[in-house]
Amino acid sequence: MESSVSPDYPVKTVAVVGLGKIGLPLAAQYASKGMRVIGCDVLAEVVESINAGLAHIHEEAGLEEAVAAAVAAGTLSATTDTTGAAKQAGVVVVIVPLIVAPDRSMDYRNIDAATRAVGRGLRRGTLVVCETTLPVGTTRQRLGPMLEKESGLKAGADFHLAFSPERLYAGRIFEDLRRYPKIVGGIDEASTKAAVDFYRSVLDAEVWAVENTETAEFAKLAETTYRDVNIALANQLALYAASREVNVNEAFKAANSQPYSHIHRPSLGVGGHCIPVYPHFLLRDATNGELSLVRDGRDTNDRMAEVGLQQLDRLLGGLQSRRVLVLGASYREDVKELAFSTVFPVVKLLHHAGAQVLVLDPLFRREELQALEAEVVDDVDTATSQPVDAIVVQAWHRDFRHLDWRRFKGLKAVLDGRGSVDPAAIRQAGAAYIAIGISETRAAAPK
């Protein structure tokens, strides 16, 4: 059926709700394509900073320049008044986090508050697109009714509603915006079309319509769950290989030379807001027996920190009173983010085993790592002021790449939690190299 929605507000004005690591680059991107962008955030300091032309996120290449240019050109401004921005906008893009607690329970407060604020300002003809990753069905069943209740309008009949997953990789967002197809699904055909038209006008990448919001929501959960299960498979294969004289890195490289094989890297654990979390968006309503592989994959990956530290424990003949340095607190390299980082179980398990734990991460200030309850060291000089028995590589930041391992006096072993370190450099420093699937017996004997 043909929708009766007809925009009576300028589609050239876009409100971006949530000016974080993803929302701010999106706002700058839309502004660079000739849109008038009103960025909305609940944090007054974020809004003030942007209105002064200063990006509050510094790790994204090109972002500071893009924000400064857009603010100077008058195409980007920011406000804490989401409702006021929605009143002026032809398109509203919502990209605020859905918080997932360590026990995996979901906290919808941000997304609900943002949706209600948009609803209060919603006008006939506006397109609302949610980009925050959501459990299947949320856009239609939760956000739609909220927007309707607050606005008194009817989704589909009076305004468009769509979901489009954000799949960017923080740190290279502008590059990914050009490369990754933009997946779009609306609550009806007209909503899908409105969202496709909008994204075609602001992105260079291909825009790809799917049947509905549920399909678009599920696509994001499927792609992240695939990666989690794949890593779990890599971990299980690596552990199997460990006791069988297999060089697992060579084996995976060889296997992946077959175009259909994409085995990921074994690791100490999977962190971040996405990969360890989104499988739970599926598992929460999976009925008996459904998605057992997903559940097993999650459990496997969650066990890896313990498995790796057991290897280290065996190699050192116990961790009691050992000085162990953890390199990198972030969940992965070159990003300042602690969410679900494996650093937490690593520090906890080391403490439990009686080790003295030091953590070094140049991306964080000392006070930002307080939650770790470990001795935070600011630099390699401090870390090497006393002998270190072992190093656990949790996040292999760019800053570590030229590390001279020989500076660590007394170093006996390096547990490479990311499969990123050159084993030869470790052995040259007289220490043993171990990793998931690289068994102690294959490493050089510790001096």
Ligand X SMILES: NC(=O)c1ccc[n+]([C@@H]2O[C@H](COP(=O)([O-])OP(=O)(O)OC[C@H]3O[C@@H](n4cnc5c(N)ncnc54)[C@H](O)[C@@H]3O)[C@@H](O)[C@H]2O)c1
Segment interacting with ligand X (CB under 6 A) among 14-22, 119-127, 361-369, 403-411? 14-22
Min dist. Cβ of residue 340 to ligand X (A): 12
Residue of 3, 7, 32, 42 that binds ligand X (CB under 6 A): 42
Neighbour tally for 182: CB within 10 Å = 22
* Site mask for ligand X (CB under 6 A), range 79-98, x = bound: ---x------------xxxx
Binding map of ligand X across residues 103-142, x = CB under 6 A, - = no contact = -------x--xx-----------------xx---------
Residue 274 among the catalytic residues: yes
Does residue 17 bind ligand X (CB under 6 A)?
yes
Sole window of 11-19, 156-164, 289-297, 417-425 interacting with ligand X (rule: CB under 6 A): 11-19
Distances, alpha carbon 91 to alpha carbons 56, 117, 208, 261, in Å: 24, 14, 18, 41
Count of residues interacting with ligand X (CB under 6 A)? 28
Q: What are phi and psi of 160, to 5 degrees?
A: -90, 145
| Closest-CA residue to 394 (of 360, 415, 417) | 417
Exposure b/e, 153-173, CB count within 10 A at least 16 = b:
bebbebbbbbbbbbbbebbeb
Binding to ligand X in span 221-280, by CB under 6 A: 273-274
Return the closest-CA partner of residue 413 out of 428, 395, 430: 430
Beta carbon of residue 63, minimum distance to ligand X (angstroms, whole number):
12
Which residue lies nearer to ligand X by CB, 131 or 158?
Answer: 131
- Concerning whether 220 is annotated as a catalytic residue, the answer is yes
Cα pseudo-dihedral 337, 338, 340, 341, rounded to 10: 100
Q: With beta carbons less than 8 A apart as the criterion, state whether 122 and 83 touch.
A: no
Binding segment for ligand X among 12-20, 61-69, 209-217, 381-389 (CB under 6 A)? 12-20
Q: At what angle are helices 292-316 and 213-242 packed, to 10 degrees? A: 30
Closest residue by Cα to residue 180 from 162, 213, 203, 161: 203
447 vs 432: CA distance, rounded Å: 9
Residue among 21, 87, 182, 220 flagged as catalytic: 220
Question: Are the C-beta atoms of 418 and 269 separated by less than 8 Å?
Answer: no
What is the enclosing helix (H) or strand (E) of 173? helix 173-179
CB of 269 to ligand X, least distance (A): 17
Q: Does 188 bind ligand X (CB under 6 A)?
A: no
Stretch that binds ligand X, among 21-29, 201-209, 342-350, 367-375 (CB under 6 A): 21-29
Q: Is 14 in the site for ligand X (CB under 6 A)?
A: no
Residues near ligand X (CB under 6 A) are: 17-23, 40-43, 46, 82, 95-98, 110, 113-114, 132-133, 166-168, 170, 273-274
Active site residues: 220, 274
